[in-house]
Amino acid sequence: MNLLKFHTTLVLCLTGISVCAKTILVDPAGSTKSIKQAITQAAAGDTILVKPGIYREGNIIVNKPLVLIGEGRPVLDGDRKYEILTIHASNVTVSGFRIISSGVSSVNDLAGIGAINTDRLVIRDNEFAETYFGIHISNSRNSIIENNRLSVSARSEYETGNGIHLWQSTQATIRNNHVTGHRDGIYFEFVTNSRIEGNTCERNQRYGLHFMFSHDDEYHRNIFRENGAGVAVMYTRNVTMTYNLFEKNWGNSVYGLLLKDISDSKVTSNRFIQNTIAIYMEGTSRTEFSENIFSSNGWGIRLQASCDANTFTRNNFMRNTFDFATNGTLVLNSINGNYWDKYQGYDLNKDGIGDVPYRPVNMYTMVVERIPTAVLLWRSFLVFLLDRAEKVFPAVTPENLKDEYPNLRPHDLST
């Protein structure tokens, strides 16, 4: 039996199974004082347990499958010169560290943790402070980035990179992170079949979430609050965005959600609260907008003439300055079954549906689209008269942009 056990253990070791893995202790007062020394000593699959302390080791390169665990939140300090951790291996886990003060470079994307050509990378439960990029991942698969906090105190977007940055990757999970102060909170480019869920991105310099050329992704239950702009989705198809909160993204031409040249997507069950523009759409096609709440925004939706075959159903529009705006007279989209708090129609048959259509675009909205400074006259008596005249004899507003079946009561979207 002992011989059989020996042969079984030998086979498992030779095949890289973690039954042979050991734990290496890094302690400033111990025999292994540095993380670099521990990585040199370690074999594939080993765990490196790092005791509390401040570790200034320049650029630490992880080039083999390892688990790095910080005990008591040890500090990895880049002295504002280096990328702190660089990962060039698959099956690496980094957890429990405070990672601070990476180098800053306009040429190289220096990060708190940088990774390239990895598979099954896990970055979990770390704190990042004053790093240029927080986490920068390229050409990777099956990454999990969760429960991290990333913050920086840069005064402009040129002084910092993105919090969580993925390029040309697939099947990533970005979950329950908090990102503040960076250029973009989360950035995707050429990232497919991935999921962003439960994150909070607030007070970032440019976008809370920015993604381009990233197809077949899902974004659920995130909060985008007080960013330069909320979320930008560009040159993308088949995106699903549900149960997100877009809140207090204020400023000149600032939006909660920008959709530019996207198609075949879903924007459902989201809340847009107190944004300058809740949704700005340009070149958007075949996208469903349903069961969203638009409340207290400057504009609910700005629908450009380049958009077609989109549907808007069962949304609630409440307390917005302008519910809808467009810059064209031919509208190739469907807008039916929504609730509009400005609707003044009647319901003689008591079925809860207005008996006359509602036109969410008023004449003054069309004027502001052409002459933005005209917004200064908003709520003047002249504007009131012009809008009343336009309702009686429509001449400027698009004839086919109307809700044929407006709800008289807000849709119950509490679930």
Please give the DSSP secondary-structure letter assigned to residue 227. Answer: -
Look at domain 23-185 and name its CATH class. Answer: mainly beta
Q: How far apart are CA 48 and CA 26, in angstroms?
A: 7
> Helix, strand, or coil here: 309?
strand
- Cα dihedral 309, 285, 310, 238 sign: positive
* pLDDT score recorded for residue 327: 79
* pLDDT score recorded for residue 225: 95
**363-370 and 381-392 helices, crossing angle to 10°:** 120
Please give the DSSP secondary-structure letter assigned to residue 14. Answer: H
Of all residues in the chain, the percent with pLDDT exceeding 70 is 85
pLDDT of residue 355 exceeding 90, the answer is no
Q: Are 265 and 235 in contact (CB under 8 A)?
A: no
Q: How far apart are CA 266 and CA 247, in angstroms?
A: 19
**Which region among 86-95, 122-131, 248-257, 395-404 has the lowest average model confidence (pLDDT)?**
395-404
Burial class (CB in 10 A: 0-12, 13-18, 19+), 101: buried
Q: What is the pLDDT of residues 357-385, one digit of tens each?
A: 888 876 555 555 555 555 555 555 555 55
φ, ψ of residue 311 to 5 degrees: the values are -125, 140
Average pLDDT value for the chain: 87
Q: Can you point out the beta strands (E) in 176-226? A: 178-180, 184-192, 195-197, 200-202, 207-212, 217-220, 223-225
The whole-model pTM stands at 0.87
Q: Can you point out the beta strands (E) in 214-264? A: 217-220, 223-225, 229-237, 239-242, 245-247, 255-263
* pLDDT score recorded for residue 344: 85
- Structural domain boundaries of the chain? 23-185
